[in-house]
Amino acid sequence: MRIGVLTGGGDCPGLNPAIRGVVYRAIDYNDEVIGIRAGWKGLLEKDTVPLRLEDVEEIISMGGTILHTSRTNPLKKEEDTEKCIKNFKELGLDALIAIGGDDTLSVANALYKRGLPTVGVPKTMDNDLSGTDVTFGFDTAVTVAMDALARLKDTARSHFRVMVFEVMGRHAGWVALYTAVGGGADYVLIPEIPLDMDALTEHIKKVRARGKPYAVIVASEGVELPVEEEEEVRVDAFGHKILRERQVASWLADQIEKRTGFETRWVQIGHIQRGGPPTLYDRIIATRVGIKAVDMVHNGEFGKMAAIKGQDVVSVSLDEAVGKLKTVPPELFEEFKTLFK
C-alpha cells in the first residue's frame, strides 16, 4: 500500500517516534510511506517527502516533528476540503494516517465521512483528548515544567517571594495539576475549578505563617479570571483563543502581592514545554500507536484512532475521540487537594 502520514496542530515530543513507528511497521507489510509536510497544508499543496527506514532510523530521541506542522484547517472552505480529497487521489494514496489532537483528528474524521480512508494517531501535550487514557507529549511537557518549577523554587526561596508559574494546557488542567503535584507546589489553579481569590490569598498567608520562606503557585493558562478581560485575544484557524496572550499569571501575581503584601513574581513557561527529547514513556507509547495505526490500515479500520487503554493499544472511533474534551475529573482534584497544605 501507499500510505500518507502527516502531523498537524501544535507539535509535542513523541511525534518523531510515532512517525518512526509508522514507517517501521509499514516496512513489515512492504508498504510505501509518503510524508505529507506541515499538516493539512501539505495535503492542500501536495508537499510530500518519501519516508524510508534511513529517514527515520535516528529520530527516536528528537523533539518536534521532522514532517513539520501547521494549524491549517481545510474544513474552513469547501474548496479546500475538496482539494484535500482530490490531492489524496492524485498522490495515489491508499490510506492516510493523521497524527494530531482534537483539531487535526476532527479534520481526519470529516474527510473519512467524505470517503477518505483515514486513521488517527492521538497526540497532545494537553492530554485532553477523549477515547484514549493518555496522549504522548504530555509526560514530557510535564517533566519539563516540573524541572522548571524546581528552579523557580530555588530563586523564590532565596528572595522570600511568591512565584506564580503559568503552564500551557488549554481548557484542561492536566498539565497544571500534574506539574504542581509532581513538583510539590503550594497551590494549583486549573480551568475546571472556579478561581477563588480569597481562598488563594488565605492559603498563601497560611503557608508563610507556618514559616515557609516562599510559596509557588501553578496556574493553567486556561483559568478564568473574575474580571472582564480588557483586550481581545487572537484566535487560531480552529477558532481557539491564544490563551498565553491573556497572561493570567501576571494578573494573579499582581493580585497576590496587593492582597498578601509578599513580593510576587510571575513566569510563563510557554513553548519551552513543547521542545526537547521525549521521555521514555512518551517514546514507547508514541511508537506503539504508530505501529497500531499501520495495522489498522491493513485491517481496514478507517474512521478510527489508535488509543491507549490501560496497557493495551486499541482502536476507537474518531467520533468518540473528537466529540468532547477530556478534562480533570473532580474526584482526582479532590484526591490531590491533600497535597496543598
Interface with ligand F6P (CB under 6 A): 10, 71, 101, 124-126, 168-170, 221, 236, 242-243, 274
CA-CA distance, 249 to 30, in Å (whole number)?
52
Q: Is 121 helix (H, G, I), strand (E, B) or coil?
A: strand
Residues with catalytic roles? 126
Of the pair 135, 264, the CB lying nearest ligand F6P is at: 135
Of the pair 40, 214, the CB lying nearest ligand F6P is at: 40
Whether the Cβ atoms of residue 254 and residue 204 lie closer than 8 Å to each other: no
The residues, ordered by sequence, that sit 6+ positions from 206 with a Cβ below 8 Å of its Cβ are: none
Q: How far is the CB of 266 from ligand F6P (least distance, A)?
A: 17
Q: How far is the CB of 169 from ligand F6P (least distance, A)?
A: 5
Q: Is 49 helix (H, G, I), strand (E, B) or coil?
A: strand
Of the pair 39, 101, the CB lying nearest ligand F6P is at: 101
**Residues counted in the chain:** 341
Backbone angles phi and psi of 289, in degrees to 5: -70, -30
Of the pair 162, 248, the CB lying nearest ligand F6P is at: 248
Q: How far is the CB of 184 from ligand F6P (least distance, A)?
A: 22
The residues, ordered by sequence, that sit 6+ positions from 284 with a Cβ below 8 Å of its Cβ are: none
Q: How far is the CB of 104 from ligand F6P (least distance, A)?
A: 10
Q: Is 122 helix (H, G, I), strand (E, B) or coil?
A: strand
Whether the Cβ atoms of residue 264 and residue 161 lie closer than 8 Å to each other: yes
Indicate the residue type of 35.
G
Q: With both helix axes pointing from N to C terminus, report the angle between 78-90 and 102-113 in degrees, rounded to the nearest 10.
A: 70
Q: How far is the CB of 267 from ligand F6P (least distance, A)?
A: 16
How many other CB atoms are there within 10 angstroms of residue 250's CB atom?
14
Whether the Cβ atoms of residue 109 and residue 303 lie closer than 8 Å to each other: yes
Of the pair 37, 274, the CB lying nearest ligand F6P is at: 274
Number of H helices, E strands in the chain: 12, 11
Q: How far is the CB of 271 from ligand F6P (least distance, A)?
A: 6
Of the pair 269, 307, the CB lying nearest ligand F6P is at: 269
Residue whose C-alpha is closest to residue 189's, from 120, 112, 266, 258: 266
